[in-house]
A and B are shown apart, each in its own frame.
Chain A
Amino acid sequence: MKNILMILRFEYLRQIRRRSFLFTVLGVPLLIGMVFGIIVLVSMNVHAEQKIGIVDLSGDSTGINVSMLDLDTVIPVTYFDTEAAAQAAFEARGVDAYAVIPADYITTGRIAVTTREHLSDAGRNEIEAIAHAGVLARVPPDARARLAEPMHLTLRSPESGREIEADNFLMFLLPYLFALLFTLTTFMTSGYLLQAVTEEKEERIVEILATTVAPHELMAGKILGLSAVGLTQMGIWIGLVVIVVLSLSPDLSWLAQVHLPLSLLLLALLYFVLGYLLICSCYAAIGASVTTPQEAQPLVAPISMLALSPLFLVVVILAQPNGMLATILSFIPFSAPVTMLLRLPIADVPSWEIVVNLLVLTIFVYGAMVLAGRVMRLGLLNYGKRLSLREMFGREQRVSRAAAKVDPL
């Protein structure tokens, strides 16, 4: 235990003092801040029409014309009676763009817009809003107020009776943020782990270490120490985000929109920890089985691919959290953590499913940790040689004999 703590402390301090650590911790937020800054700057002086012309020909039979509605508009609007008048104003540069709502608009839904440049989003939205107001004016007066506002939809799960407002975007953003946080922390730590293990093997320090500590202690110390590094980094980033959010909007009333039962949070935490341990142990095992970091790349790629796949398919999973794809991904140990983090906050995941996939995940975590310790020991005996799969998973005696054959001394 004392040894594990010592290795933990050593690894933690060594990584924290590295230049590349500082670079990542400060550089990434700085880069993101810069990108946001430029986007904000660009969107501030984005081109938009100064004045828009509207020709409404759809009112011929009903007598309703958008020009009579006295609408509030963002971009100033001039109404014309005929297309020719609008065109003349456009050519004289009285308007930057004009839209013609044709006589058959109610049946076809088509609007023709003429502009000098690209039609801006603001211009497009305004024309849509005006056309909408024209349609609304034809609706019976008693239903008009209701139809002017969108339907207020609440989504209810039949089993638990949990309800989510369909427009509560925070509830849908949250699972995504959870999953992203998990992925970032996990891959950061496992990257450090892979590097630390292969580096020591390359420099052959590990053999000196092995004379004083047991290989599994060495592994445990490294995994814990580097996890602490990953969590520190995450903590700093989360702290920065909180500071930015607080300074931008001190009013925190929007937090009330988030309603997550405690049991759910605990379950999410469990998936987080198990997934973290699984991927870190696998990376450590791979790091111990190869001789250089380059060799490790192709071996870790399938694992990271599988673990990241739910993020690539996030749209499908968030749209149908109990669909077939989401269910399948939840049963594969490597993709289970991210998938479940995405599903849990919004969907009613059947309890048997949670039990079974937690069980599978736990078995895999245990297996990976045992494997990591074992590979570390075998890797020491087989210096300069990559371990084959048979050696990693096979019975130990056979491995030692194989090792003896390679090196008769």
Chain B
Amino acid sequence: MNLVMIIAWREITTLLRRASFWIAALGGPLVAIAMLLGIGYVGRQFGDQTTPGQTNAGPATGFVDKAGVIRSIPTADRALVLPFQTEDEASAAMRAGRIGSFFIVAPDYMKSGQVTRVSPQVGILSDSAQDTRLFQAVLDTNLVGDAQLARRLTDTPDMQVHVVNPTNGTTTTQPSSPFSGISYGLALILAISIANGGGQLLQAVAEEKENRTIEILLTSAPSWKIMAGKLLGLSTVVLIQFLAWLVIARLLIGAQGLMQVDVGSVPVFLWLWVVIYYLLGFLLLGGLMLVLASVGASMRESGQFSGLMTIPVVAPLWFSASIVENPSGWLARGLSLFPLTAPVTMMLRLGQGAVAPWELAVSLGLLALSVLGAIVAAARLFRASTLLTGTKPTPVAIWRALRST
């Protein structure tokens, strides 16, 4: 046992000294922070719904009404929506900074619906920018004759969905999107972290094999202890890194104004399942990476195949839309039974609260079994392959090594 600890400790210290580890550990959250800040910023600028007259203090907007449809401007909006007689007048006001943009209502507006927005900011969300929404509200209010009716026409209804359980008749409320957003975020962190950890492990073993340090190690420790030590050391570091990411994620989500998500609404069990699935997922990928490192002749060769192992771990994210939309469909069920895809798939599904206990049990059981299988296979292959350094083992040799005890 002592040897295992020594090897684990050495793995931890080498990993912490490696620059690539720190780049992955810090780079991931940095990118996430940048993206969240960006999305939060856009969210503030282009929210879903606004109440006319209650916009943030931005520059006013103007309009030139060639169709004669705007007869009056609601009192609350008079400071923010300014009428102009001609386009030149409006352009001059925009250059002078009195307005940030203006709208031209075409003479045949009632027929064509044509409106032109003139603004130095032409972007993908211009049709839902604050000034556009404000002007559209004024325009619609004039057409409808009633502000409230006009608003109902543009805003999407606030739907509350009650799901009745057919067996016992209890009613639950369908989780709204922010909650599935969190489970998507967790699945993403899980996938990146597992894939990254697997890569680090592969590198650690393949490197030692390539510079033949491993042969010296084998003179003083049996192969399974080396494997176990490496796996233990790396999982400790990677788990700490993962937990740190989770804490950062929680802080980010909780930070005011970034996202309107109630973190308290995330049940404790979800955080618990994340850690369990993470550990098992990492051990499985780690075991498979060790197998690869043992079979491959060089770092480069093992690296080429490691992608094949990592793809299934990340793949459920590609189907996340289908899984979230239909959490108990055949795709979601199938992916949660296959050990490599199970961790990420389960994260996505658990966020929807649609997993039966038996499914959870079967998925965890299969995952645990394959972890065991991968580690045993890795230890056996490792021993056999060090005896065959430099040659690429044939399938027959691999099979023989797997069967030896």
Contacts and interface: CB of A to CB of B under 8 A. Distances in A.
Given A42-B329, A147-B143, A117 B163 contact: yes
Given A42-B319, A124-B159, A156-B116, A136 B124 contact: no
Given A116-B166, A127-B159, A319-B45, A47 B152 contact: no
Contacts of A106: 148-149, 152
Interface stretch (A158-166, A178-186, A212-220, A387-395): A158-166
A18 to B, nearest CB: 10
A297 B46 contact: no
A105 B123 contact: no
B140 A147 contact: yes
Interface string A72-108: 0000000000000000001000000001000001111
A112 B162 CA distance: 8
A146 B148 contact: no
A116 B139 CA distance: 41
Interface stretch (A6-14, A308-316, A371-379): A308-316
B304 interface: yes
A155 B124 contact: no
B236 interface: no
A202 B321 CA distance: 45
A218 B325 CA distance: 54
A116 B121 contact: no
A163 B126 CA distance: 13
A164 B124 CA distance: 10
A256 interface: no
Given A147-B140, A313-B35, A157 B45 contact: no
A146 B114 CA distance: 11
A298 to B, nearest CB: 4
Contacts of A348: 120, 122
Given A298-B23, A315-B39, A143 B143 contact: yes
A387 to B, nearest CB: 16
A138 B38 contact: no
Nearest to A164: B122
A112 B160 contact: yes
A132 interface: yes
Interface string B84-120: 0000000100100000000000000110111111111
A154 interface: yes
A150 B136 CA distance: 10
Interface in A312-347: 312-313, 315-316, 318-323, 325, 346-347
B331 interface: yes
**Of listed B115, B153, B171, B300, residue having the most chain A CB within 10 A:** B153
Contacts of A114: 161-162, 164, 171
B31 A312 contact: yes
B354 interface: yes
Contacts of A154: 114-117
A110 interface: yes
A115 B162 contact: yes
A161 to B, nearest CB: 9
A146 B110 contact: yes
Given A107-B148, A114-B164, A346 B120 contact: no
Contacts of A351: none
B122 A152 contact: no
A118 B160 contact: no
Interface string A140-177: 10010011011111111111000110110000100000
B365 interface: no
Contact of B153 (A113, A136, A320): A136
A158 B91 contact: yes
A38 interface: yes
A321 B120 CA distance: 9
B158 A316 contact: no
B123 A109 contact: no
A294 interface: yes
Interface in A371-408: none
B162 A151 contact: no
Interface in B154-179: 155-164, 166, 171, 174
A348 B148 CA distance: 37
Contacts of A43: 322
Contact of B136 (A39, A47, A151): A151
Contacts of B331: 38, 42
B161 A115 contact: yes
A143 B144 contact: yes
A139 interface: yes
A244 interface: no
Nearest to B323: A42
A50 interface: no
Contacts of B31: 305, 312
A319 B46 contact: yes
A139 B143 contact: yes
B255 interface: no
Nearest to A19: B304
Nearest to B31: A312
B319 A347 contact: no
A60 interface: no
Contacts of A346: 122-124
A313 B166 CA distance: 45
Contact of A20 (B20, B124, B304): B304
A255 interface: no
Given A153-B115, A347-B122, A39 B321 contact: yes
B95 to A, nearest CB: 8
A113 B159 contact: yes
Contact of A166 (B22, B42, B127, B161): B127
Nearest to A132: B153
Interface of B: 19-20, 22-23, 27, 30-31, 34-35, 38-39, 41-42, 45-46, 91, 94, 109-110, 112-127, 132, 136, 139-140, 143-145, 148-149, 151-153, 155-164, 166, 171, 174, 203, 207, 299-300, 304, 311, 315, 318-319, 321-322, 325-327, 329, 331, 352, 354
Given A47-B326, A118-B174, A320-B123, 14 more contacts: A35-B318, A39-B322, A115-B163, A124-B159, A128-B156, A146-B113, A164-B122, A166-B127, A294-B203, A298-B22, A305-B30, A315-B42, A321-B122, A347-B122
The 10 closest A-B pairs by CB, nearest first: A298-B19, A318-B124, A166-B127, A143-B143, A152-B113, A42-B322, A316-B38, A319-B123, A172-B124, A319-B125
27 contacts: A39-B321, A42-B319, A106-B148, A107-B148, A109-B152, A112-B159, A114-B161, A116-B163, A116-B166, A117-B163, A118-B163, A143-B144, A147-B143, A155-B119, A156-B122, A163-B116, A297-B20, A301-B23, A312-B31, A313-B34, A315-B39, A315-B42, A316-B39, A318-B124, A320-B45, A321-B121, A322-B120
Interface of A: 20, 23, 31, 35, 38-39, 42-43, 46-47, 90, 99, 105-121, 124, 127-128, 131-132, 135-136, 138-140, 143, 146-147, 149-159, 163-164, 166-167, 172, 293-294, 297-298, 301, 305, 309, 312-313, 315-316, 318-323, 325, 346-348
